[in-house]
Amino acid sequence: MRPPLPLLLLAACAACTAQIAWTPIFLDGSSQVDLWTQSSSGCACPGGDGDDCACCVRDGACPCGDVAPARCAQCGMEQYCANMCNITIDSRILKSKSGKTFGQIKSPSIEGPGACSYFLQPDAGQRVEIQLYRLVSVGKFNGTSCVGGWLQLGSASAVPAGGAAETRLCGANERYTPPVVLFADHGASTLEFRITEKTVRSQFLAFFSFTSLSNTQGVGFHPRGGSRIPHTDCDWLYQDVSCRGPGSCVLASPGYPGLYPPHRRCRYLFATNSVHTRVKIMFTSILLPRNHCTTDYLTLRAGSSPSASLLGTLCSERTATLEHPGPNLLLEFNSGPLVPPYDYNGFIAKLEFIERVDSSGSPPTVVPASPPLAALTHHMQHADRIPIDSSGMTNEVSGGSSARMGCGATVRAYGPGGARSGHFDSRAGPWRSQCVIHLLGAPTDVVQVSLFNYNLRLPSCRSHIEILEGVHEFGGRGERDRSERGDRALLRVCGPAVREARDPAGRFLIRQAVTSKGANLTILVRRATQQTPDEEEFVDGAFAFHDEQHEGTASPDATCAATHYGLSSPAHGGVSAPSHHHIFWNIEERLLCTHRFIPAANQSVTIEIQRLERMWSAEPAGAAGAGVAGGCRTACGDAGCECRSHTPLYYHDHVALVAGDGTHLSCLCGDFQAAWLPVVVRSWTSVRLEYSVAHYTYASRGFEYAAAYSFNDDAMCGQRTYTTHSGEISSRNVSVTGSLNEFFYQQCTWVLDSNVERQLFIDITSEQDKSCGSWNITLHEWSGGAVGAGEGGAGGGAGLAAAAGELLYTFCARHKNHTYTLPWRLNTVVIRLVALSRQQPLYSIRWRSQVVRANTRLGPPTPAPAASAAASSLGLTAALLYCVLCLSLLIQ
Ligand SMILES: *[C@@H]1O[C@H](CO)[C@@H](O)[C@H](O)[C@H]1NC(C)=O
Ligand SMILES: *[C@@H]1O[C@H](CO)[C@@H](O)[C@H](O)[C@H]1NC(C)=O
Ligand SMILES: *[C@@H]1O[C@H](CO)[C@@H](O)[C@H](O)[C@H]1NC(C)=O
Ligand SMILES: *[C@@H]1O[C@H](CO)[C@@H](O)[C@H](O)[C@H]1NC(C)=O
Ligand SMILES: *[C@@H]1O[C@H](CO)[C@@H](O)[C@H](O)[C@H]1NC(C)=O
Ligand SMILES: *[C@@H]1O[C@H](CO)[C@@H](O)[C@H](O)[C@H]1NC(C)=O
Ligand SMILES: *[C@@H]1O[C@H](CO)[C@@H](O)[C@H](O)[C@H]1NC(C)=O
């Protein structure tokens, strides 16, 4: 006897239980045996031989004939009456034969192991839908997966990206009312029925439908307004520009409103082009398996990276509305194993991008107390942090709204209501055809401006944007200084021109930014006098004032770089993480900010890292340690602190101190602990402090740090060329901070030069018991070039370093005391000291010269000067050169 298969007549109900929806499949309303058979007997048989055959439903059914006289099948599928296994169902053929785009699949009763597959070919604009009602002896669920047998709906052409697990259903004897609903959206699909263990009788019953995507009952769901991110399994990008009207953007879990596949991670990135846009996500339905919140859940993050800060998690909620400012939000949907009885279907959400004028979500603005210099002057041990005023901007704005700076606004960097950075938008405030925004800095400020979006319509530059040095008033008088203005424009954008902050793939465009030379800047937008709202000509962007005296000289080409010169900068100061985030609004990648410290010839620079916040790693998706601090480790040794990671350092937040020659003096990342601070580096050559945020985003801005610097007067490497025949160079003690992690970096080069023939004896002594690796002194031949350029500061030092030729000897501290006897007539010698150590190198170098050659034991026979012209050694050539000089001096 056949198993009693349920009769399912799901009239009038497209969304019956909770939010799971399926296509109603019914015929006539009176079928008794199965979908196509009304009764198993009582009707005339095909061919006219008797009337004890099955009665078929009127619409779309055909009798099976001799193979199964008691049954009917869907027209076009009669050949499968006896054995519905390994068949192809093509939507178009089915529609033409039976007038239907749905039907039933009743597997034969197979003896395991065995398999049947059903190839489902949808037409354009259709998705494949399966409604499973019955499983008999089809494996079982062991808690994580199906063993012994299963039913699976998958793509007919490709395995899912990354070998992701398929949706496999199993059960010993299951009736599903309502059915388990599955949708496939990847074209031709295969329903696979597989029994891998021994069974007596395995069977399933399902309905299928080629469901139109234009179905409005929920079953035709397809995402709207987003774009698939290529080479991903289920990731999507939604941009504000493509989600203008309400309901124009919709997203959902894969296979919605059916069961979603197991073990997936789908990411939905929401990206805005405008500073003022907020993202509103309305989850109209969330249905996840109960008590599986550790595996099946949704997260929302402030930024495009999975390691960005978490804004919220959803799991047991049925609906929810979340609203956050941009520029990027990342929604992540995670699924675990399939959980019987498969009565959940994920989520569906509408997306809106809202233009908000209120400043509740506006970023903190740095407002130093006046007078500014007092607030900004830091001293080594007391590097106070610049106060961050998170109450929003309170700018002096004339003729504009209080939150946005629009036409006619004057922004002052200091004084009551001053703002050090902010956004501007020519659309804020009353409309003017000639829109002027003034940015007025303090005397030591420069102004940085970055343009995000603009639209200029009039051709031939009749619409334009100009960014000008200084303060310019326009109006009647404005016409007069037009030529002058043209010369002084730092940036001029001519209409017609359109810029959107992002490209169609959602990536921010390369920044379009300028830095002034002076303290004041004027932004001018000239546009057509007639404007329709949707064609409005505008510009928006951000500005920041940069105090060159205290924050270093801004590098005009770099996003975030400043230089502190030992001679012109204050001798002491503090540096910290950038605070003028407004101009970084359109950065969504690694942010690298550098401070270069260039000591003068007789100076060293000390940099003390005093405070450091937790740092993160943003390793590529799937890499171990993603989003945690474990990806990078700091190890401090005798030669500084080091960042250790298996992936390139730019994947990890870090602070590094790098010498001008590229030597890494110290690097702090990952697990670095506050207790190990301060880290101090004293260097006699230039040092660059690198602040690197692995994945910067305006909403979650990286980490804080504070460092103090001081330029010290110590001429340790000062005097560089000695022409005396004897002398001494000794280390001088410098004051130490006593920090456990204090490091000294020296690269000194001295030249002993003589213009008469001599033999040099060099004694080097040290009391320190240090390894050769921590510091050493080397003696080199002179490699040519002019001697005597040693007083030119750090640059001169580099020049001398280059003069070091072939290595003759190496002195290490553990040698204690050594005398080097140099070859006769090696008149010019280069001495180099290299040190990177926890202790300052202590040494003494003494030299003396013997001008008259004492004996012939020390060198080859001395040829007459004229005869030695063929001498080829570099040292010899140099010596000869000086000899010729001295001869000519003698002649005079
Ligand atoms: C269906 O096809 C599969 C693979 O081609 C085969 O292993 C299986 O035996 C077939 N089933 C039947 C009932 O013919
Ligand atoms: C369930 O079956 C899978 C596949 O055979 C196996 O890897 C897994 O360990 C099993 N789980 C349990 C809890 O037995
Ligand atoms: C900037 O403009 C203000 C106001 O016009 C003026 O007082 C100040 O001198 C200007 N600063 C510089 C450096 O030109
Ligand atoms: C550096 O110091 C040395 C000795 O203290 C002095 O002779 C030299 O002139 C100084 N150089 C500069 C550039 O100040
Ligand atoms: C320099 O410091 C060392 C150790 O701190 C000390 O032994 C030495 O006497 C000092 N030298 C001078 C010249 O002050
Ligand atoms: C000399 O000292 C420097 C700096 O500490 C080190 O990098 C280098 O390896 C040392 N040279 C030798 C031969 O040990
Ligand atoms: C170095 O050693 C020599 C003998 O090898 C000794 O005469 C001299 O005094 C020593 N110099 C120092 C500074 O220790």
Amino acid at 623: A
DSSP sequence for 220-247 = T---BSEEEPTTSSS-EEEEGGG--STT
What is the pLDDT averaged over residues 511-516? 93
Regarding predicted confidence, which is higher, 164 or 366?
164
Nearest residue (CA) to ligand 7, atom 13: 765
Is residue 83 located within the same domain as residue 186?
yes
What is the pLDDT averaged over residues 714-743? 85
Distance 99 CA to ligand 1 centre (A): 29
What is the pLDDT averaged over residues 373-399? 30
Number of Cβ atoms within 10 Å of the Cβ of 399: 13
Is residue 391 located within the same domain as residue 463?
yes
Pocket of ligand 1 (CB under 6 A): 85-86, 114-116
Is residue 204 located within the same domain as residue 240?
no
The most confident of 370-379, 459-468, 796-805, by mean pLDDT: 459-468
pLDDT of residue 563: 95
Is residue 752 located within the same domain as residue 704?
no
What is the pLDDT averaged over residues 123-149? 92
Cβ atoms 659, 746 nearer than 8 A: no
Buried/exposed 11-29: b ≥16 CB within 10 Å, e otherwise: eeeeeeeebbbbbbbbbee
Rounded distance, CA 665 to CA 669, Å?
A: 14
Give the number of whichever ligand sits closest to the CA of residue 794.
Answer: 4
Find the helix or strand (DSSP H, E) in which 45 lies: none
Mean pLDDT of the chain: 81
**Angle, vertex CA 425, rays to CA 420 and CA 428, nearest 5:** 110
Rounded distance, CA 806 to CA 819, Å?
A: 19
The answer on pLDDT for 398 being more than 50 is no
Regarding predicted confidence, which is higher, 492 or 396?
492
Buried/exposed 81-119: b ≥16 CB within 10 Å, e otherwise: beebbeeebbbeebbebbebbbbbbbbbebebebebebe
Check pocket membership of 145 for ligand 2, CB cut-off 6 A.
Answer: yes
Pocket of ligand 6 (CB under 6 A): 772-776, 810, 834-836
| Domain stops at, among 212, 241, 269 | 212
The residues, any chain, with a CB within 8 Å of residue 80's CB and separated by 6 or more, are: 73, 87
Q: Is there a domain that residue 144 lies in?
A: yes
Distance 715 CA to ligand 4 centre (A): 7
Confidence of residue 158 (pLDDT cuts 50, 70, 90): low
Rounded distance, CA 70 to CA 39, Å?
A: 8
Atom of ligand 2 nearest to the CA of 146: 2
The most confident of 12-16, 113-117, 507-511, by mean pLDDT: 113-117
Is residue 692 located within the same domain as residue 734?
no
Give the number of whichever ligand sits closest to the CA of residue 148.
Answer: 2
Beta strand 489-494 with 520-526 is unpaired
Distance 771 CA to ligand 5 centre (A): 19
Is residue 237 located within the same domain as residue 340?
yes
Cβ atoms 492, 485 nearer than 8 A: no
Q: Is there a domain that residue 546 lies in?
A: no
Is residue 329 located within the same domain as residue 392?
no
Give the number of whichever ligand sits closest to the CA of residue 773.
Answer: 6
What is the pLDDT averaged over residues 248-277? 91
Check pocket membership of 567 for ligand 4, CB cut-off 6 A.
Answer: no
Strand partners, 573: 709
Check pocket membership of 797 for ligand 4, CB cut-off 6 A.
Answer: no
Distance 542 CA to ligand 6 centre (A): 47
Domain that holds residue 89: 6-212
Distance 811 CA to ligand 6 centre (A): 10
Regarding predicted confidence, which is higher, 859 or 689?
689
Residue bearing tokens 């609004």 = 585
**Predicted confidence (pLDDT) per residue in 578-622, tens digit:** 988 899 999 988 899 999 999 998 899 999 999 998 787 765 544
Check pocket membership of 723 for ligand 2, CB cut-off 6 A.
Answer: no
Rounded distance, CA 781 to CA 762, Å?
A: 14
Q: Is there a domain that residue 654 lies in?
A: yes
What is the pLDDT averaged over residues 345-361? 75
Distance 170 CA to ligand 2 centre (A): 14
Q: Which of 140, 142, 338, 339 to mutate to test the pocket of ligand 2 (most atoms within 8 A of CB)?
A: 142
pLDDT of residue 656: 96
What is the pLDDT averaged over residues 553-575? 91
Nearest residue (CA) to ligand 2, atom 9: 144
Give the number of whichever ligand sits closest to the CA of residue 815.
Answer: 7
Distance 733 CA to ligand 5 centre (A): 6
Structure tokens at 536: 């409005």
Q: Is there a domain that residue 565 lies in?
A: no
| Domain stops at, among 713, 732, 763 | 713
Q: Is there a domain that residue 568 lies in?
A: no
pLDDT of residue 883: 37
Task: Tell me what percent of the residues of the chain surpass a pLDDT of 70.
Answer: 81
Distance 731 CA to ligand 7 centre (A): 18
Check pocket membership of 713 for ligand 4, CB cut-off 6 A.
Answer: no
The model carries a pTM of: 0.73
Distance 186 CA to ligand 2 centre (A): 29
Number of Cβ atoms within 10 Å of the Cβ of 702: 23
Question: What's the Rg (C-alpha) of the chain?
Answer: 39
| Domain stops at, among 325, 355, 385 | 355
Atom of ligand 1 nearest to the CA of 110: 13
Nearest residue (CA) to ligand 4, atom 11: 602
The answer on pLDDT for 515 being more than 90 is yes
**Predicted confidence (pLDDT) per residue in 79-112, tens digit:** 888 889 999 999 999 999 999 999 999 999 999 8
Q: Which of 83, 116, 203 to mutate to test the pocket of ligand 1 (most atoms within 8 A of CB)?
A: 116
Regarding predicted confidence, which is higher, 742 or 878?
742
Give the number of whichever ligand sits closest to the CA of residue 110.
Answer: 1
What is the pLDDT averaged over residues 295-303? 93
Distance 791 CA to ligand 4 centre (A): 8
- CATH number of the domain that residue 641 is part of: 2.60.120.290
Is residue 373 located within the same domain as residue 521?
yes
Q: Is there a domain that residue 584 lies in?
A: yes
Give the number of whichever ligand sits closest to the CA of residue 119.
Answer: 1
What is the pLDDT averaged over residues 244-259? 89
Is residue 846 located within the same domain as residue 867?
no
Check pocket membership of 165 for ligand 2, CB cut-off 6 A.
Answer: no
Structure tokens at 638: 């005798």
Distance 815 CA to ligand 5 centre (A): 19
pLDDT of residue 786: 53
What is the pLDDT averaged over residues 551-576? 91
The most confident of 490-504, 772-786, 793-807, by mean pLDDT: 490-504
Rounded distance, CA 439 to CA 421, Å?
A: 10
Q: Is there a domain that residue 553 lies in?
A: no
Distance 674 CA to ligand 5 centre (A): 31
The answer on pLDDT for 387 being more than 60 is no
Distance 508 CA to ligand 2 centre (A): 45
Instruction: Quote the longest CA-to-CA distance of the chain.
Output: 142
pLDDT of residue 853: 63
Q: Is there a domain that residue 547 lies in?
A: no
Q: Which of 743, 744, 772 to mutate to test the pocket of ligand 6 (most atoms within 8 A of CB)?
A: 772
pLDDT of residue 733: 84
**Predicted confidence (pLDDT) per residue in 799-857, tens digit:** 666 678 889 999 998 888 999 999 888 889 999 999 999 989 999 999 999 887 655 44
Check pocket membership of 714 for ligand 4, CB cut-off 6 A.
Answer: no
pLDDT of residue 221: 87
Give the number of whichever ligand sits closest to the CA of residue 791.
Answer: 4
Give the number of whichever ligand sits closest to the CA of residue 844.
Answer: 7
Distance 141 CA to ligand 2 centre (A): 9
Q: Which of 140, 144, 146 to mutate to test the pocket of ligand 2 (most atoms within 8 A of CB)?
A: 144
Check pocket membership of 321 for ligand 2, CB cut-off 6 A.
Answer: no
Is residue 728 located within the same domain as residue 704?
no
As a residue count, the chain comes to 892
Q: How many domains does the chain have?
A: 6
Is residue 592 located within the same domain as residue 690?
yes
Distances (CA, A) of 258 to 180, 549, 751: 8, 63, 81
Is residue 835 located within the same domain as residue 867?
no
Rounded distance, CA 290 to CA 336, Å?
A: 12
Nearest residue (CA) to ligand 4, atom 13: 601
Rounded distance, CA 870 to CA 877, Å?
A: 9
Cβ atoms 715, 621 nearer than 8 A: no
Distance 714 CA to ligand 5 centre (A): 16
Check pocket membership of 602 for ligand 4, CB cut-off 6 A.
Answer: yes
Confidence of residue 375 (pLDDT cuts 50, 70, 90): very low
What is the pLDDT averaged over residues 412-436? 85
Cβ atoms 543, 473 nearer than 8 A: no
Nearest residue (CA) to ligand 6, atom 2: 775
Nearest residue (CA) to ligand 6, atom 5: 774
Check pocket membership of 518 for ligand 3, CB cut-off 6 A.
Answer: yes
What is the pLDDT averaged over residues 57-70? 86
Query: Which bin fits 85, alpha (ψ -120 to 50), beta or left (φ > 0)?
Result: beta
The answer on pLDDT for 163 being more than 80 is no
Distance 762 CA to ligand 7 centre (A): 12
| DSSP 3-state of 388 | strand
